Amino acid sequence: MCDYSLMAVPNRLAQEGEDLVAHRFPTGSLGLALPTDITRAANPAPAMQRTFWGKVKEFFQPPEQASVCAVCIPPGARLLLLDIPARLQNELCVGPEEEVTFTQISAAAHSYRDAVRFSNGGVARLQELREGQRVRVLDLSMAQELDLKALSDELGQLEAAR
């Protein structure tokens, strides 16, 4: 779904046909996001000319930064991985574009578990992708059913650990 470190940022489920990119979130983790969200957050609206007191107020209360929403992929979803870095191509014997299946490689808490499985059996964690790498959501019909109770319990454990 979304690695544990992305639970602290706004997130939502993916939709079929979406084009996403790998993005480094403020938590330091690599995840998937819409390119438009990244562009909007990187290029905020220009500030209006402010009065002296408006500038003082803004200094003590800076405007909120636009956040980038993490797009969560359910295990079993089919994706098209584009712009695969040469290093991963060599390590996994794959081409520059490959159809992959999203998976989770560990059930351990507080670990990066999101990964993609290639048709040749090779696996790459999402953290190994290159920032800016493109991903297209092809099919969510094979995605595993979400266990909302288990997900809620996991979130509760994470909150309790803080």
Strand partners, 60: none
CB distance 126 to 110 below 8 Å = no
Return the structure tokens found at 112.
Answer: 């990066």
- Residue 86 corresponds to which amino acid? A
- pTM as predicted: 0.74
Contacts of 83 (CB under 8 A, 6+ apart): 96, 97, 130, 132, 133, 134
Contacts of 87 (CB under 8 A, 6+ apart): none
Q: How does pLDDT run along the chain (162 residues), one tens digit per residue?
A: 576 566 778 889 999 999 999 999 988 889 999 999 999 888 766 666 678 888 888 778 776 667 899 999 999 999 999 999 999 999 999 999 999 999 988 766 677 888 999 999 999 999 999 999 999 999 998 876 545 455 455 545 555 654
